[in-house]
Chain A
Amino acid sequence: MKTSVVGSRVTREDAWGKVFGQTKFPADVNLPGQLYAVVIRSPHPHARVLSINSDYALEMAGVVAVLSAKDVPHNAHGVLFRDQPVLAEYVRMVGDPVAVVGAETEEIAREAAKRVQVEYEVLPTVFDPEEAMKPDVLPLHPSLRPTNVLYHMPIRRGSMEEGWAKADVVIEKEYNTQHVDHAFLQPEAVLAYLDERGHLVVQTATQYAHYDRGEIAHALGLRFSQVQVKTLAVGGAFGGREDISLQVIAALMAWKTLRPVKMENTREESFYSHSKRHPMRMQYKTGATKDGKLVAMEAKIVGDSGAYASWSINVLRKAAVHATGPYVIPNVSIDSYAVFTNNPFSGAMRGFGAAQTVLAYESQMDLLAKEIGISPLEIRLRNIFKVGSTTATGQVLTSSVPLDQCLAKITPYLQRGGESE
């Protein structure tokens, strides 16, 4: 099939505005009379807010309002479950927002934020997901789950007993990946205001304008039709703008003060206020015959959801589904878990759970090849998915599996020992 678009070079519509510096990102929009708002974040990973004294902040000339949990009509948001507070009374991670200051200038707002005194009752913490998932550890979200195990995805295929019986070589290893921040180049920023209809307008960079609208409307107790979210240019996101960040807080300040409200994260605040890539602990046991055919694989994957659910269920599901890599294995047992801890919350990031397991399954392939005495290329050629292959979840692949072509293409490179021509 010939089309006029696929296969032809198309200039991005937005590229010219960007090379001339004309494109508007959220920090580039302002309104006369706008307030600046700055968030006060918890320094503790697990705590109860006992009191907030904003008297010293409100004494400062130019400070208009200090808002906290009691000012939020419905104090919850979240993409899968509304388990995350807009302004926290109960803190589950370092960086949870507990109050917000609105002032005439950014300088005043930042100075006033330092003068807000928050008294915390510091609570015991759990940072290791395998520790957190034990049944006797206190759950961080008792209304959502009785333990810290948010999600368990088991995958079973074939018979493990038969699989291990056929294995001549077995490799058993543990792999760990770390937190990763998206570090999109444009820090979060918002302009929120009431328009001439009395509707709340929120201009921001988001991956989910319609979702943000629902979250803002819910938190403030408004109808959907009273909230409009306008997406400006998005300066990188990579999954990190799927969860809402400053939008509800800015909207709340605008609603309470009837003033336009501008918020801009510093880079440091940005690190505190959005999700991270899930760290995963992956225990793998993989068996092959002496001629390099995979016969069995067992994997336990524990993903650190951190303080809130965000997209953890979907991410750990995807990690499980991709746990064998693109290889045919007839006997498989996979258990994937998402677990709450007091770490920064984890969410969507490029690959959405499929990236972490690559470290484990590809390392296993290299180690098996070495043990059997064949090349890393050879062991892959003997096991890759082809049209007609069945995956661990029972899916029969019917089209678009060009892995053999991909390997054929890089074979000369691999045969040179990984050196460029």
Chain B
Amino acid sequence: MIEIKLVVNEKPYTLNVEPSERLIDALRNRLGLLGTKEGCGEGECGACTIIMDGKTVNSCLVLAAQANGSVLTTIEGVGNRRSPHPVQKAFVEVGAVQCGFCTPGMVLSAKNLLDKNSHPSETEIGIAMSGNLCRCTGYDKILRAVKIAAEEGKQ
């Protein structure tokens, strides 16, 4: 076992993890953060996207031990029913949510884009969301929701 220290959703944790343990498994099984989804296990679908030290990563491709010393944000650390993040509000209002399995990853990719670039172009939005697959094929509304969230942020 390896001892790691990390901050998840602004809370510090010390965990003992297996050398081969993936970050997604540590988040889901050890911390009970089940909003991070596993769709493919090989970094294709983006359902397991989290924000790690300001970058979006596929948590199925990161070892838990590699997150030692990192600051992570999962979907549980973004918004709530009293005050949803503009991205979450826009996803609901536009109808960008269908089956919902890709949604947490989509929200985190969009949030991270807007954190870094509050005035993204359509191309920049497209690039930021390109690592997240939606098999319900709701891309048009997803991209529109990100655009609306960006515009709301500008006001």
Known contacts A11-B92, A25-B101, A185-B101; A16/B81 CB under 8 A? yes
Complex: how many Å from CA A141 to CA B57? 48
How many residues of chain B have a CB within 8 Å of chain A?
A: 38
Contact between B84 and A19, CB atoms less than 8 A apart: yes
Known contacts A18-B97, A19-B103; A186/B41 CB under 8 A? no
B78, B81, B99: most-surrounded residue (chain A CB, <10 A): B99
98-155 of chain B: CB within 8 A of chain A: 98-104, 107, 133-136
Residues of A with C-beta under 8 A to B84: 16, 19-20
Contact between B45 and A19, CB atoms less than 8 A apart: no
Candidates A18, A20, A25, A28; contact of B79 at CB < 8 Å: A20
Contact between B41 and A266, CB atoms less than 8 A apart: yes
Closest to A25 in B: B101
Contact between A186 and B99, CB atoms less than 8 A apart: yes
Complex: how many Å from CA A20 to CA B76? 6
Closest to B45 in A: A185
Complex: how many Å from CA A191 to CA B76? 23
Contact between A235 and B92, CB atoms less than 8 A apart: no
Contact between A236 and B135, CB atoms less than 8 A apart: yes
- Min CB distance A203 to B, Å, is 14
Q: Chain B's interface: helix, strand, loop or mixed, by majority?
A: loop
A234, A236, A266, A267: most-surrounded residue (chain B CB, <10 A): A236
Candidates B36, B39, B97, B103; contact of A267 at CB < 8 Å: B39
Candidates B35, B80, B91, B100; contact of A235 at CB < 8 Å: B100
Contact code string A6-28 (vs B, CB < 8 Å = 1, else 0):
00000110111111111111011
Known contacts A20-B35, A21-B104, A183-B135; A267/B81 CB under 8 A? no
The reply on A187 being an interface residue by CB < 8 A is: yes
Residues of A with C-beta under 8 A to B41: 266-267
The reply on A233 being an interface residue by CB < 8 A is: yes
The reply on A184 being an interface residue by CB < 8 A is: yes
Residues of A with C-beta under 8 A to B31: none
Known contacts A19-B107, A28-B34; A186/B101 CB under 8 A? yes
Complex: how many Å from CA A183 to CA B133? 11
Residues of A with C-beta under 8 A to B101: 25, 184-186, 233, 235-236
The reply on B40 being an interface residue by CB < 8 A is: yes
Closest to A235 in B: B101
Complex: how many Å from CA A182 to CA B101? 15
Contact between B91 and A19, CB atoms less than 8 A apart: yes
- Min CB distance A55 to B, Å, is 27
Residues of B with C-beta under 8 A to A11: 92-93
How many residues of chain A have a CB within 8 Å of chain B?
A: 30
Contact between B100 and A14, CB atoms less than 8 A apart: yes
Known contacts A183-B135, A185-B135, A267-B39; A16/B92 CB under 8 A? yes
- Min CB distance A16 to B, Å, is 6
Complex: how many Å from CA A187 to CA B98? 16
Complex: how many Å from CA A28 to CA B28? 9
Known contacts A12-B92, A20-B88, A21-B104; A186/B34 CB under 8 A? no
Contact between B75 and A184, CB atoms less than 8 A apart: no
Closest to B108 in A: A21
Contact between B37 and A20, CB atoms less than 8 A apart: no
The reply on B74 being an interface residue by CB < 8 A is: yes
Residues of A with C-beta under 8 A to B38: 27, 187
- Min CB distance A259 to B, Å, is 18
Residues of B with C-beta under 8 A to A267: 39-42
Contact between A236 and B136, CB atoms less than 8 A apart: yes
167-188 of chain A: CB within 8 A of chain B: 182-187
Closest to B132 in A: A185
Residues of A with C-beta under 8 A to B74: 21
Closest to A11 in B: B92
- Min CB distance B95 to A, Å, is 7
Contact between B36 and A21, CB atoms less than 8 A apart: yes
Residues of A with C-beta under 8 A to B42: 267
- Min CB distance A346 to B, Å, is 19
Residues of B with C-beta under 8 A to A17: 100
Complex: how many Å from CA A186 to CA B74? 18
Complex: how many Å from CA A237 to CA B74? 26
The reply on B47 being an interface residue by CB < 8 A is: yes
The 4 closest A-B pairs by CB, nearest first: A21-B35, A18-B100, A21-B75, A235-B101
20 further contact pairs, Cβ within 8 A, besides A17-B100, A184-B101: A14-B97, A15-B91, A15-B95, A16-B81, A18-B100, A19-B79, A20-B35, A20-B76, A20-B84, A22-B35, A24-B34, A185-B47, A185-B102, A185-B135, A186-B39, A187-B38, A235-B100, A236-B135, A236-B136, A267-B40
Q: Which residues of A contact B (CB under 8 A)?
A: 11-12, 14-25, 27-28, 182-187, 233-238, 266-267
Please list 29 pairs of residues, one from A and one from B, whose beta carbons are closer than 8 Å in the complex, sorted by A's number. Answer: A12-B92, A12-B95, A15-B92, A15-B95, A16-B81, A16-B84, A17-B100, A18-B97, A19-B87, A19-B97, A20-B75, A20-B76, A20-B88, A21-B35, A21-B36, A21-B76, A21-B104, A23-B100, A184-B99, A184-B135, A185-B101, A185-B136, A186-B99, A186-B101, A187-B38, A235-B37, A235-B99, A236-B98, A238-B135
